[in-house]
Each structure stands twice: as C-alpha cells, then as structure tokens.
Structure 1
Amino acid sequence: MKYIESSKLTVARLTSRLSMIVVAMLFTMPSFSQDASVEATISPIEILIGEQAKVKVKATMKEGSDAVFPVFKASQEITPGVEVLESKEEGVHGTENGFVERTVTYTITSFDDTLYYLPPFEVKIGGKVYKSKSLALKVLTLDVDTLHPENFFGPKDVQSNPFLWSEWKTPFWLSVLLLVLMIVSYYLYLRLRDNKPIIKTISFVKRILPHQRAIKEIETLRTDHRPADDNQEELKKYYTRLTDALRKYIEERYGFSAMEMTSSEIIEQLMASADAKSLDELRHLFQTADLVKFAKYSTLINENDANLVSALEFINETKREDMQTVEVVQPKYTEEEQKSKKERTLLKTVIITLTVASVVLFCYIVYSLYALLD
C-alpha cells in the first residue's frame, strides 16, 4: 500500500510539473511588434517556500531608443504573495539587424504554497507601452507525514568544532615569537638599566667684561702695591702686573695673542684701530716697563702713577660695553663616554622597535583566536 501511495504521489507531481511547463511556455511567448517587443521568462517555474526565482524581462528595440522598465522597491509585491527582493540591470547587447536588447532581472520569492499568476510586465519604449506575456509561479511546501510522528527528530545539542592543527598553528607559532620578543626586550631593558646614563648639562658662565676686569686689577694694584723708587725688585713686580693686566685686556678686546707678543708688536697691531694719542701713551708705558724689567731702569718721581693713569685712560677710551657677558659652555665627552652614549641610544631604539612589534603581534594573535573561537 505504501508503495502504491508513493507511486501515485510521484505521478501526480510529474503531471503537475508538465502542466506548469506547458503553461509557462504558452505564457512566455513574446509579443512582437515591428519596432519593439518585450519578452519575460522565469526560472525556475517551481520553488519551495522561501526559495528564490529569477524573472528576466528583455526589451528588443531599435538602436537609440529609450526603455523604461518597471521599478519595484525591496519587498514590494508584484502580485499578492510574491515579493521582489532586488532588481538588476543586465546591460545592453546589440543584434545583427540594427536592434538592441536590454535586460532587467528581478529576484522574487514567496512564502505561501500556491500557483501564482504574474501579470504582464509593462516596458515603455519610445513613449509607447509594450507588454510581455503573463507568467506563472508554482510555490510548493514540504510534505509532512503526520501519521508517523516518531520519524521526527528533536533539536540537536551544540557540537564542538573538531580541532584542526592547520587552523591553530599560525597563532601558536606567533605566540612563541611574541614570547621570544618579550624576553629579548626585557634583557635589553636590563642592559639599559645597568648602563647608567652620562648626564652633562650645558652650562652658562657669566663673564666680566674685559675692561671691567682690567680696571679692577689696576685699581687693586694701585691700592695694594706702591713700590719705592729705589726698590728695583718691587718696581719690576709693579710693572709686570700692570702690563699683564693691559695685555689680557688687549687680547680679549681685540682678539689677538697679546700675552705672547712683544711691546712693539702689540703697538703695531693696534695701529689700525686705536687712537694715535692713546697709543703714544701706551707705547711710553710699555717702553718704561721693558726698561724696568730688563734694564733695571729707575722711574722718576710720580712716573709710576702717571703710567697707571695712562693705562686706565687707554682702557676707558677703547672699552666696549656691547660685548657678550654670558658664555655657553658645551659639555665635552671622553671617547669612552661617547661610546656609552651611543650604546644607550641603540638599546633604546631596539627596545622601542621590539615593543611596538610585540604590541602589533599581540593584537593580531587575539584577533586570530577570536576568529577561530567565534
């Protein structure tokens, strides 16, 4: 009996499908016109509830003509029970007889099991409306054997995915690499911590102007050292200190090595910049000092004070108030200190690079594991 019932059901289904094919062939015959035609086809003509079918509407027209196809919104019904999911333009293709073909495909579905009649599709070509033949869509439902409920099986429990090494090997080896990078970074950090930094700051030294220093030394000489005219040794020390103060001032003021030059060389060097009268007095002072130091010359009464005043006048006449008073002293590193500084810079660069690489690698591993476990 079961076999006979099954055979009858199969014959009924075949008969139904043959009828549907014949109806579809009749419905899909295109309507021809001399200038244009519209043809609609459906595939498949039979679907299960929730499945999709494709309706292709093809317009054949003269080249240069415009065609306006039906427009459906998402979930809009062509006929009650049949929804349009999407519309897609297939493009324009030329033919050999000067006509072109333009096709639009509509994706449709239905959730009720019945035979649907799809009305003709209207396409406006060159201001005139052309219709296709109507279509048919058969929607089937699943056969349910209500007489044998024991054949229905309940829901299954959640099953775990099988473990595949091919999926997990990449995150595993990347995790090993991440561990190695972290160990190397920590080791380099310890090296950097043990290698103490060499800190040398730039110092700013405030210096006294050359004329201020020279005047101070000469004033000290006037107060502390007044030699007797008959004491040759004291007189020699007096003029030595006086000329040394002048030589230092000239060296800082004019920028040449006055401390290593003779008196005549100094005067000759100053000829281009100093006043002639002041140079005459300065020349007399240096000549007197050379005579006292090297020829045991004894100065005349009040000559020492006159030479000291000449020195002060020369300084006041040639002094510069706009000279730099603050000197920037750059730190100087030994060869060993420079090597240590370079090593610290290299360690910092490598540690930063490894840290960034570790963070990126860690984020990628977490993303891979999330994708595998999702």
Structure 2
Amino acid sequence: MGKQIIFLFALLGLLSPLSSLAQQSRVEVNAKADTDKIRIGEQVKLRLSATVEQPTGLTVVFPQVPDSLSHWEVVTRSKIDTAGDNNKKIFSQTLTITSFDSGHWDIPAFRFDVVQNAGGATDSAFTGPLGIDVGTITVDTTKAFKPIKAVRTVGWNFWDYWLYFAIGITVIIIGIGLFVYFRSKPKKEVVKPVVPLIAPYEAALQQLQHLRGEKIWQQGDVKQYYTRLTDILRAYFEQQFNIPALEQTSEELLQHIKPVTILNQQRDKLRSLLTVADLAKFAKLHPSPDEHEAAIQQAIEIVEWTKPAAAKAPETVKEEIKQP
C-alpha cells in the first residue's frame, strides 16, 4: 500500500508541469483541406494551424511532415506564418499534396509540440484525420470505342514564322552592306620607300661642311662637336655599306668594316678619329684647335675615299691608280 501511494505522488509530480502548462495557455491545433474529393494527380491544399492563447514564453513546434505519406506525396510546403498579438497568436503552414492511387485515403493526424521556454516542459496536441476521395476518370463502357483520329494538317500561316523571315532578311541585308562596303573601300596604296634625292656621300660631305661652318668647338661645346661629327660618319656607313654603325661602339665598328675593302683601307685614320672623339665625349678631353680641324678633315677624307668610283673626280681616280 505504501508503494502505491509513493507511485501515485510521483505520477502527480510528473504531470504537474503539463497541468501548469495547460492552465497557463490554451492551444488549439487544426488540419483542414480545401476539398474532400479529387481526381488522380490533382492537388490538395492542406492547411495546418495552431492557435495559442497567452503565448508568452511558449514555442509551438510544427509537425515534421515527410515528403511521402501513405498514398500521398508532398509537392510543396510553405513557410510558417505568424499572426495575432501577445494575447493570441495563430501559426499556420500550407502543404500542397497529391495522390496517384484511386480510392478513399485518410491523411493521418499531425502532432504539434508546445514547449515552455522557462521550465522546458512539453505538451502535445493532435489534429484529427482527414478523409479524401481520389477518383479516376469515368469511362462509359456501354459506348463503342471511337477510332483514332488521323493526323490533321495545319494550314501554313506566315505569322507563325515571321521571326525566322525577319532574321533571314536582316542577315541578307547585313551581308550585302558588308560586300558593298569592302568593295567600295579605297585600297591603301603601298608606300614606296623614299629614295634619297642625293647620294649618301654627298649628304655626308654637306653635313660635314655645315658642321665646320657652325664653329661649335670654337664656342666651347667640344662634346657636341665630336658627337655630331661621329654621327655623320656612322649614318654614312649605314646608308652606303649597310653597317649598323649607329648601334655599335667604336671597337665594334672597326671590326665590322674589315669586309669592306675600300673602307678598311681607311681603318687607321678612322681609329684615330674615333679615339679622339671618344676621349672628348666621355673622358672630357680637350683637344687642341689643330686636333679639332684635323678630325673633321679626316672625316672628309674618309668619305671622299670611300664614295663610289663613278662619283669620284678623274684626278682622284688617277691618284688611286698611281698608288702602289
């Protein structure tokens, strides 16, 4: 007898949180379908709702409906909506379901859990089951079967294909426009290389005479004087003998003139000229006035010696023949 009393008090202790939860608030759950009869494959809107009075401190947990129920498939499910105020709140969710089995099928009851946030006590509420008839298409078997209709030919309609015609015409117009444009576009004339009006040796001699007349070294600009003097010679070598003289050092230039026999004969004179010029340009050497004049005279003699034989004066040719 004593054990029974102890068990009774323990049971009352377990039920006391649920009793207090029920006293504090009133929860009403409901499941409602928008129809009780469909044909196979049609859809049913199933609305689950929970109405809670005095909802402060309570959490309503909606049932976790699987994707497949007995004879039913869940197509879509909405989010849980909330409406109401602190005295009364309504929670709702809409499920879209369908069935592909004919017959009368029940949608099972759904369980809602109500959790008290403070104490963690939980209570449950259940909806009632719903019965829905799933029917097939009615076929009148008393009537004779009709033959299969032949394929019908649909008349041609321009407006069914107007987009394809528009695209085709646009492509043709663009093609014709491009053809006319490229056909009438003026051809670029090939620019012929400009042939110097005067021979390279003549240009070099004119520039050397002009440099002499400017009297640059007399004005104290020795570096500029030798820079222009050697540039005139290097440009002459490039044009006359195809030697990349402007891009080479003095030693490289002296090495590249060896194959040119007529130019190699002036190699010692050219070396002396380039040595003085390099010292004046890079070592800040100040040659004497006689050395300035000798340098430009050597440059003139090199050009005169190396110019084409047809351009040399008869006296120069005779002097070359007399030389051993």
Instruction: Report the counterpart of residue 42 of structure 1 in structure 2.
Output: 33
Q: Per-residue CA shift, 1:133-186, capped at 9, x if unaligned?
A: 22111122233333x241x32443344455444443343234323222222221
2:294 aligns with 313
Cα distance in structure 2, aligned partners of 1:149 and 1:108: 35
The answer (yes or no) to whether the contact 1:59–1:103 under 8 Å persists in 2 is: yes
- CA offsets per residue over residues 266-300 of structure 1, 9 Å max, x none? 44x5432257xx9xxxxxxxxxxxxxxxxxxxxxx
Aligned counterpart in structure 2 of residue 94 of structure 1, from 68, 71, 84? 84
Q: Distance in 2 between matches of 1:87 and 1:105?
A: 6
* Matching of residue 130 in structure 1 with residue 130 in structure 2: no
What pairs with 1:207-226 in structure 2 (closer than 5 Å)? none
2:48 corresponds in structure 1 to: 57
The 8 Å contact of residues 66 and 125 in structure 1, kept in 2 or not, is answered as yes
Secondary structure in 1 matching 2:90: strand
- On the 8 A contact 2:77/2:96 being kept in 1, the answer is yes
Q: Deviations over 1:293-321 (max 9, x none)?
A: xxxxxxxxxxxxxxxx8675243899xxx
Aligned alpha-carbon RMSD (Å): 4.0
Q: Write out per-residue CA displacement over residues 105-155 of structure 1, whole angstroms, 9 at most, x where no aligned residue.
A: 122222333222222111223243221122111122233333x241x3244
Q: Secondary structure, in 3 states, of the residue corresponding to 2:95?
A: strand
Q: Is the 1:72–1:87 contact (alpha carbons within 8 Å) kept by the matching residues of 2?
A: no
Q: Indicate conservation of the 8 Å contact 2:40/2:101, yes or no.
A: yes
Is the contact between residue 88 and residue 104 of structure 1 (CA under 8 Å) also seen in structure 2? yes
Q: Compared with structure 1, are the counterparts of its residues 171 and 54 closer, same or farther at alpha carbon in structure 2 (3 Å cutoff)?
A: same
The answer to which of 86-95 and 53-62 deviates more is: 86-95
Q: Cα distance, 1:40 vs. partner?
A: 0.8
Please say if residues 87 and 105 of structure 1, whose CA atoms lie closer than 8 Å, have aligned partners that are also in contact: yes
1:166-315 alignment to 2 at 5 Å?
A: 166-192=159-185, 195-200=186-191, 245=205, 248-249=207-208, 251=210, 258=213, 266-267=214-215, 270-273=217-220, 313-315=294-296
Contact 1:63 1:100 in 2 (8 A): no
Partner SS, residue 134 of structure 2: strand
Residue 303 of structure 1 is matched in structure 2 by: none
- For residues 141 and 274 of structure 1, do their structure 2 counterparts lie closer, same or farther at Cα, with a shift above 3 Å needed? closer
Give how far 1:37 is off. Answer: 1.9
Q: Distance in 1 between matches of 2:82 and 2:143?
A: 54
Q: Secondary structure at the match of 1:179?
A: helix
In structure 2, distance between residues paired with 1:202 and 1:120: 98
* 2:40 is equivalent to residue 81 of structure 1: no
Corresponding residue for residue 315 of structure 2: none
Counterpart of 1:70 (choices 38, 56, 63) is 63
Identity %: 20
Q: Counterpart of 1:116? A: 105
Aligned 8 A contact 2:99 2:134 in 1: yes
Distance 1:57 1:156 in 2: 47
Could you say which residue in structure 1 is the equivalent of 2:312?
A: none
Structure-1 residue corresponding to 2:316: none
Q: Which residue of 2 aligns with 1:104?
A: 93
- Between the aligned partners of 2:96 and 2:41, the Cα distance in structure 1 is 12
Deviation at 1:55, TM superposition (A): 0.9
Q: 1:69 to 1:310 in 2, by over 3 A?
A: closer
Give the Å deviation of 1:44. 0.9
Contact (CA 8 Å) 1:92, 1:102: kept in 2 or not? yes
Instruction: Rate the CA distance shift 1:89–1:154 in 2: closer, same or farther, 3 A.
Output: farther
Native 8 Å contact 2:66 2:74 kept in 1? yes
Q: How many residues align?
A: 201
Aligned partners of 1:249 and 1:119: how far apart in 2?
Answer: 114
Q: Distance in 1 between matches of 2:174 and 2:184?
A: 15
Long gaps (5+) in structure 1? 1-32, 218-244, 259-265, 279-308, 319-374
SS in 1 for 2:219: coil
Q: TM-score normalised to the size of structure 2?
A: 0.50
Indicate if the aligned counterparts of 2:217 and 2:292 stay in contact, CA closer than 8 A.
no
Distance 1:272 1:311, change over 3 A: closer
Q: Which amino acid aligns with 2:64?
A: V
Q: Measure, in 2, the Cα distance between the counterparts of 1:65 and 1:159.
A: 66
